[in-house]
Amino acid sequence: MTSQVKFVRVDEPAEGLRSRKKAKTRIMIEEAALDLFASQGYEATTVEQIAAQVEISTTTFFRYFPSKADVVLCQQDGHLPELRRVILSRPASESGLAAVRHAMLQVWVPNVDPEHTLRAGLAVANSATLRGLYNDLNRTWLDGIAEALAERKGLSSPDEEVMITARVALGVFNEAIRAWGNGECGETVDTMVERGFAALTRLCAEWGAEWARTV
């Protein structure tokens, strides 16, 4: 992603000017960090190097990101509360899996930043440290989805069915992102997610039919 200078009208409110400046600085930090991670590796890159690349102090860097890992992972969990809210708002007649599917398509998919996702994915793939942190993040997603599904069923904590539903739904989403990132089908993210859930539905029908024949 390349930054494009956008002139601000002189009569724009000061708060708008400050917000635009902060957003621009944040993007510059992200791009510099991801460039360095790609060229020399995540572990070998220091906060000082990232800050120098953007011509800011390390103090300024930490005002935007708590750590260099957050440059890669910070965008990943911000929409979890909204995802939970949408899951809980779905009709009671809808299955848990369908509720999560709708929530993902409504909340997560529209907020996928293609460029950031691809570059961050490359950084994670090439760093054992980031892979571990990403696994922790996946656990946060899993717990958040499972807790919402449990609350939807009136449970005090997730049961086996809820955990299976949450794991399967998250697996479909992660596989869709992986396939999209690898350019395997040339489709958009939302199409890949829809295809993933459609494939799961077909598989469940096949498994159900096989199970019925054996009992």
Instruction: Show the domains of the chain with their CATH numbers.
Output: 14-68 (1.10.10.60), 75-214 (1.10.357.10)
- The more confident residue out of 145 and 122 is 145
Q: 128-142 pLDDT, tens per residue?
A: 999 999 899 899 999
Single-letter residue type at 31: E
How far is the CA of 77 from the CAs of 22, 38, 69, 114, 212, in angstroms?
20, 23, 13, 16, 40
The dihedral formed by the CA atoms of 176, 181, 182 and 188, expressed in degrees to the nearest 10? 70
Task: Give residue-wise pLDDT tens across range 11-67.
Answer: 445 567 778 888 899 999 999 999 999 999 999 999 999 999 999 999 999 999 999
- Position 120 scores a pLDDT of 87
* CA atoms lying within 13 Å on the CB side of residue 186: 0
85 pLDDT band (50/70/90 cuts)? very high
The pLDDT score that the predictor gives to residue 1 is 31
What global pTM score does this model have?
A: 0.79
pLDDT (tens digit, 9 = 90+) per residue, 137-178?
Answer: 899 999 999 999 999 999 999 999 999 999 999 999 989 988
Q: How far apart are CA 64 and CA 22, in angstroms?
A: 9
Q: What is the number of alpha carbons within 13 Å of residue 208 lying toward its C-beta?
A: 6
Could you give the CA distance from residue 159 to residue 24 in angstroms, rounded to a whole number? 44
Residue 22 is predicted with a pLDDT of 87
- Provide the pLDDT for residue 213: 81
What percent of the chain has a predicted confidence (pLDDT) above 90? 60
Three-state secondary structure along 54-114? HCCCHHHHHHHCCCHHHHHHCCCCCCHHHHHHHHHHCCCCCCHHHHHHHHHHHHHHHHCCH
To the nearest 10°, report the CA torsion of 172, 71, 67, 138.
0
12: left (phi over 0), alpha (psi -120 to 50) or beta: beta
